[in-house]
Amino acid sequence: MSKLTDLTTKIEQWAIDRNLHTADPRKQMLKLGEEAGELYAGIAKGNTELIKDSVGDAYVVITILSMQKGFSVSEFVDSIEEPTVKDNAETAIQLSLSLMQRTGSIAHSLMHSNNNDTLLTMAHWFIETLFDLAYALNVNRVECIQMAYDEIKDRKGKMIDGVFVKEADLQEVEDEK
């Protein structure tokens, strides 16, 4: 088993332990948009730490979204070849735009189709583009995912209106209600 598959399995178990795999995928889609936005902000600001954090977080979110739709990204993640794109700013911009398009396509599919084969293909393309972008930005995708997993692995919280709210944010969310 590869390090990436091992991490993916751990992320999936983490989601199952918190019952995230049964939550509303539309709400998870919003989280994917949030993480992608943070990635774009990191790129725009040249903030390598934010880029690394966002690459890992986006992978965690798409992994959980996939589970909510009944499939596992571990089915295909090891088949994604090492990127061969050039490490430069223009390539990163083009890949960022592609990732934006892929995110929108996943959202459109969630809203207008129940075809999981289509969503599986889109999740594959999203992850492939995310990995290409990480490479173009000179960050290691496995390290990013490891960082994200290390950050969440002991996280506690509860589901509120179909969204997992981490323990540290529970009081703020409850005060807003």
Q: Taking each helix axis from N to C terminus, what angle separates 116-136 and 141-152, rounded to the nearest 10 degrees?
A: 110
CB 15 within 8 A of CB 67: yes
* pTM, two decimal places: 0.91
Instruction: Return the SS3 of 84.
Output: coil
Q: Taking each helix axis from N to C terminus, what angle separates 116-136 and 48-68, rounded to the nearest 10 degrees?
A: 170
Residue 7 in tokens: 């991490």
CB 26 within 8 A of CB 168: no
Question: What is the spatial distance between Cα 50 and Cα 36, in angstroms, rounded to a whole number?
Answer: 11
**pLDDT (tens place) for every residue of the chain, 177 residues total:** 699 999 999 999 999 999 999 999 999 999 999 999 999 999 999 999 999 999 999 999 999 999 999 999 988 898 888 787 766 778 889 999 999 999 999 999 888 877 788 888 999 999 999 999 999 999 999 999 999 999 999 888 877 777 778 777 876 766 676
- Measuring CA to CA, which residue among 67, 73, 47 is closest to residue 130? 73
